[in-house]
Homo-oligomer: A and B are copies of this chain.
Amino acid sequence: MTQALLIVAHGSRREASNQEVRQLTERVRVRAGPLYSEVACAFLELAEPSILEGIHNCIANGADHLLVLPYFLSAGRHVSQDIPKILARAREIYPGVVIDLAPYLGAADAIPELLLTVAEQQGC
């Protein structure tokens, strides 16, 4: 099994925000070690690659198992409907590839602790 991790962000008209996601992806890649053959990012809208393009690229690079992780803070329409619909379409296009959807970042148990860490680093 060759697994890829695809971090999916909303995408922004502000290119610096998209670049921030790409740099974050690079930081995840460095830390990921050998678990993932590839760590890539894709965007729901307003930036490239699209989610379908991102999935295609990972598969073209050899992945037969994809984990899609929404880089979103809340379970709005994008997380609950738009992304699952795109993954359903991708599963039709690539029936031999396992495409899993991870919980969105905001659902992580560690978020409250992380908020307190950020607050404490501010030295308030």
B-contacting residues of A (Cβ < 8 Å)? 3, 5, 7, 9, 12, 14, 16-17, 20-21, 24, 27-28, 30-32, 35, 65, 67, 69, 71-77, 100, 102-103, 105-108, 110-122, 124
Contact = CB atoms under 8 A, between A and B. Distances in A.
Say what secondary structure dominates the interface of chain A: helix
Contacts of A72: 73
Contacts of A75: 16-17, 20
A16, A71, A100, A115, most chain B CB atoms within 10 A = A115
A3 to B, nearest CB: 6
B20 A106 contact: yes
B12 A115 contact: no
B114 A114 contact: yes
